[in-house]
Every structure is written in C-alpha cells, then in structure tokens.
Structure 1
Amino acid sequence: MKEMFKKFKDNKFIQDWVIPFATAGILFLILTKFVFFGIRVPTPSMVPTINVGDRMFTTHIYNYDNLKRGDIIVFQNKEENDGRLVKRLIGLPNEEIRIERDGTIYVDGVKLEESYVVNQVDKNGKYPLMNIGTFKVPEDAYFFLGDNRAGSRDARYWDDPYVYKDELISKVRFRFWPLSDFGKLK
C-alpha cells in the first residue's frame, strides 16, 4: 500500500492535471447548485433592459428580506409553459398595486417612477388588453411585470397574479452575453 501511495505521489500528471481539474469541476458543481447559475432570455418581455438571447448570471435567493422593488428576478410560474420567467419585481408582500388603463402604476397610493419601461403601448399606439385595477399582494407573495409592457405576459394576464416565495429561484446580477452589453443590469 505504501508503494502504491508513493507512485501516486510521484506521478506528475495526476498532480499537475487530474487533481486541479477534478477540484475545479467539483467547485463548479457546488457553486452552480447553491450559489449562482446562468440563464438565457428567450422572449422580448424585458426589452429594452434585457434583449432576446441575452445571457445573465444570477444568484439563488436565500434571504427574501433582501428583495426590493426593481430587482430582476427569475421564478417558476405555474401558468406559463416556458418554465422559468424573468421579470421585474413591482410589488412586495402586503402592498397594494394599482394599475391604471394607461399603464401607470401606484404602490400603496404613490406613483411608481419606471424609467426602464419604454414600450407601454403596442406598435399601433394602443394599450394592450390586460387586467387593470387594484391588486393586494398576499403576505408570502410578490407581484411581477415585464419592462416591455406592450409585449409581456405577466401578472396582468395570469389567473393568479402573484408569485409565491417557493416559486422564486434567483436574482439577476449581471449580463455576460453579448459582450458589448456586459455588466450589471439596472
């Protein structure tokens, strides 16, 4: 047994290549399982903030108290067949969200300033048909909308407009593709 250990210890290939690559692979698996993962956006619902085909790094959500309005979140939605969705967090637990016919949003009676929304109307200059009115966000839920309001299937269209804590997956941190747009998202 001592002789076999000595051969292993003296083998430069194992020390220089196998051990470092195995360590890197294990570290990569741990980080992608528990800390972050990449996501590709397949729809224009977040244009102009996120374009079709953009790729981003996200971090898993462990502390829900750190979520704030304006964060871009990845979540599972039971009503959409796409699986994971990427939308902007608009309403926090226990808040009242009011959506006017022109798309203006009020949170607890205060108008929400949304510089990231540029497509409030469709290509014909009309506001899309949607659920408007007042939404009272439940204790353990959140309210999400896409930045491309004229082209986003979001809380305004779902039968249950809320996303619950157990459906939240991760928070978008920065875009890594395309390289021309590399950086933190706003």
Structure 2
Amino acid sequence: MKTFFKDVLWFFALFLVLTMVRIYVAAPIKVQGESMMPTLEDGEKAIAYKLGDVHRFDVIPLVATDDPSLNYVKRVIGLPSDSVAYKDDQLYINGEPLAEDYLNDTKIKWQQEGHTTPLTDDFTLKELTGHDTVPPNMYFVLGDNRQVSKDSRFEEVGFIPKENIIGKAKMIIWPPSEWALVK
C-alpha cells in the first residue's frame, strides 16, 4: 500500500510541475495559415517561451484582437513609443532604416517571380492608425508573408495589447523533420 501512495504522490507531483511549466514558462502553439511563411509553415507546432520581455523582431503567438477565440502568430515590429513606416520595401523605426534580414530570401524570390510591387506596401503609422507612435503597452506586428498577412496594418487587428501576447516562439517541434529554433 505504501508503494501505491508513493506512486500516486509521484504522479501528482509530476502533473503539478508540468501544469506550472505550461501556465508560467512555456506553451505549445500551432501555426494556422500562411502569414508567417517561410519562417513558420501552416500546420507546424512550436514552443512559446513565456518569460522575459518582448523585443523587436520576436515571433509571438497572440490572442487575436479581432476574434479572441483565435490565436495569431506574428513578428513584433514596433515597440511602445516607436514610430513605424515602410517606404520602398524598407522598414523605418523612429525615422531610421532598419534591416529585416529574415526577409532577404523572400524579397529575392518575390523579384525573381516578376513582381513589380514591393513585398511590403508603403505606409506610415499615422496613415494606418492615426497615431504618430505605438501607444504604451501596445505592439505593432506584421506577418513575414506580407502579401497575405492579417496584421497590425489592418484596422480590425490594430495594435496588440501586451496582455494579448502569449509568449515568444522559440522552437519548432512538429513535424520532426523541421525541428529548429525560430529565426
């Protein structure tokens, strides 16, 4: 009987530890749709790390502002108090050009396919939202597949409140052939 109670206690402790990790440290996420291609593909699963601050270019799962029953996965572009603009396929943060190295291959492929339009259409934060800068405790996010992504450029999504951010996608875990750190 002692062994039985020890086993039950061990399984209960394991369940408790795993539950705490799931709630406070890491969570599985599933990518749905093509908005983060080629960084993340439709159907892939990843682990989101919940600890630490959100930084520019982090890939984040978030509760959708336009439909709280959905989660989106996007890339953080604008942090609180940032001014964000795009001109001639170049990102500008606070008036300074900023490289998006994760888009280099996509831009080359886009041009090779014969597209004459930029991968990311020109915009300023003021034109899109009426704000000069990203409001406090809010974030401006874009999908890597700029032509199909429903992201902060659209009024129904808009700025993402900090509390809607689930974590930071860190590692692709499914399918096993794609195991890798999220770039």
> TM-score normalised to the size of structure 2?
0.81
Contact 2:35 2:149 in 1 (8 A): yes
Question: Which of residues 69, 73, 82 in structure 2 aligns to 1:95?
Answer: 82
Contact 2:120 2:147 in 1 (8 A): no
Identity %: 27
Question: Which of residues 148, 154, 173 in structure 2 aligns to 1:157?
Answer: 154
Question: What is the CA–CA distance in structure 1 between the aligned matches of 2:32 and 2:76, rounded to whole Å?
Answer: 19
Q: 1:172 maps to what in 2?
A: 169
Per mean C-alpha deviation after superposition, the further-off stretch among 133-142 and 106-115 is 133-142
Q: 1:24 maps to what in 2?
A: 14
Q: 1:84 maps to what in 2?
A: 71
Contact 1:91 1:97 in 2 (8 A): yes
Question: What is the CA–CA distance in structure 1 between the aligned matches of 2:73 and 2:34, rounded to whole Å?
Answer: 10
Q: 1:38 maps to what in 2?
A: 28
CA drift at 1:19: 3.0
Question: What is the CA–CA distance in structure 2 between the aligned matches of 1:103 and 1:160, rounded to whole Å?
Answer: 22
Q: 1:133 maps to what in 2?
A: 124
Higher Cα Rg, which structure: 1
Question: What is the CA–CA distance in structure 2 between the aligned matches of 1:106 and 1:85, rounded to whole Å?
Answer: 24
CA drift at 1:38: 0.2
CA drift at 1:166: 2.0
Going from structure 1 to structure 2, the CA distance change for 1:82 and 1:151 (only over 3 Å counts) comes to farther
Deviations 1:16-46 (A, max 9, x none): x433322222221121122211011011111
Query: What amino acid is aligned across from residue 57 of structure 2 in structure 1?
Result: G
Matches within 5 A, 1:40-79: 40-61=30-51, 63=52, 66-79=53-66
Q: Which structure 1 segments of 5+ residues have no match?
A: 1-7
Query: What amino acid is aligned across from residue 113 of structure 1 in structure 2?
Result: A
Query: What amino acid is aligned across from residue 79 of structure 1 in structure 2?
Result: D
- Counting matched residue pairs gives 172
The answer on 1:146 being equivalent to 2:146 is: no
Contact 1:119 1:149 in 2 (8 A): no
Q: Aligned-pair RMSD on alpha carbons?
A: 2.5
Query: What amino acid is aligned across from residue 134 of structure 1 in structure 2?
Result: L
